Amino acid sequence: MIRVKINQLQEGCILAADVIGKTKKTIIPKNTVLTPLLLNVLEKFLIEDVYVEPVLANGQPFRPLEIIEVKKESDEQNNESTEDIMALYLKAVQRYKKAFQSWQSGSPIDVGEIRSIIIPLLDRFIDNRTELLTLYRYTTKEDYLYHHAVCIGLLSGFLGKHLNYGKGACYQIALAGILCDCGMAKINEKIIMKKSALTAEEYKEVKEHTILGYKMVQKIPVLQEGVKLAVLQHHERNDGSGYPFGINDKQIHPYSKIVSVADVYHAMVSERLYRKKESPFKALEQIQVDNFGKLSMEVIQILLNHLTMFSVGTKVKLSNGEMAEIVFVQREEPTRPIVKTVDGNEFISLSEQRHLFIEEVIYSSEMDGE
């Protein structure tokens, strides 16, 4: 991360640490992508300097004229910096965006290019749970579709590994994830970039992306049948309530079931043009309730296990803005542990205080960087 004066900032800069005001309250949280409005907010609050990442949200390097300080954050698992990992991810998103735009223009899918985007990235993230499960923070509303595809690919490959698929199969599952929405390239761009809720007619058109996508991949010989079926079936549901064909559990390919969970989860935790993001923990609770009998509970459980791999003393931010630390994890409701507030030393059982939930986990590397 680098520390710069606010007059050096530009649109697209990514905050590497919370911006704290004079009252010690967080004004703008870490990992926020700065917009012209937020740049104005920093000026209004008389903030002099901030920590930002060395790359912009579009994957390009950020080169301010003056840098106050450079802080290097080590990645213990890969011995490479978090900034390098994030830069690789953001570049992958931009490469996918370029590929998607070529599909919009009528070009066929270049599987070699898509493999070169997702496979090296999966190799970097598959054993890096913390970084993988916090990638949603970098999703911007405008580029949601492209972040979504790359993240579905990564999450799907990660889930595949923990469902005991071999390395080759995990690569195929990741390919299924990144390609699952390729058919959106054939949908009217005004609809996919619309900033308000879709009408019934528009939603009907969007649902066609599964069949359109399948037609795009159907005759590509190097893709396994499971990958092609995941493109077609990732909106099917076990109880037959999905689309395009309303098939049930036994007819849905295992790859499709994995991609479905990754798709729903990442959509819920990301900022979108017409919908606010949910906390990952609230999203998982909602997925368990709303999609009971619809999505694979085995896949959901794998995601839940890794997202709630808490240890006693883990720092968290609650939905009311308070910082707390975990003192006991309840096996029945791992998303709702007992916590102790940092300021008031108050013990809160989140399973009893249902109006509160964990907004996000503050990982140790983030604490060190602030």
Alpha carbon distance 366, 361 (integer Å): 10
The position carrying tokens 């935790």 is 269
The CATH code that applies to domain 2-70 is 3.90.105.10
Max CA distance (Å), the chain: 62
pLDDT, position 70: 61
pLDDT, position 86: 82
Side by side, which strands form the sheet with 2-5?
49-52, 2-5, 69-70
pLDDT in tens, the chain (370 residues): 788 889 889 998 999 888 988 777 788 888 888 988 889 889 888 888 999 988 888 777 787 866 665 655 433 444 345 557 888 899 999 999 999 999 999 999 999 999 999 999 999 999 888 888 888 888 888 899 999 999 999 999 999 999 999 999 999 999 999 999 999 999 999 999 998 889 999 999 999 999 999 999 999 999 999 999 999 999 999 999 999 999 999 999 999 999 999 999 999 999 887 777 888 888 988 998 888 899 999 999 999 988 888 777 888 889 998 899 998 887 788 889 999 998 777 899 998 999 999 988 876 544 444 4
pLDDT, position 89: 92
82-307: same fold as 2-70? no
The number of beta carbons lying within 10 Å of the beta carbon of residue 100 is 17
Q: Can you identify the CATH homologous superfamily of domain 82-307?
A: Hypothetical protein af1432 (1.10.3210.10)
pLDDT, position 73: 45
User: Domain map of the chain by residue range?
Assistant: 2-70, 82-307, 315-369
DSSP state, residue 65:
S
Q: Which residues of 262-298 are buried (b: 16+ CB within 10 A; e: fewer)?
A: bbbbbbbbbbbeeeebbbbbbbbbebeeebeebbbee
Report yes or no: 182 and 215 within 8 Å, Cβ to Cβ: no
The model's pTM:
0.78
pLDDT, position 68: 65
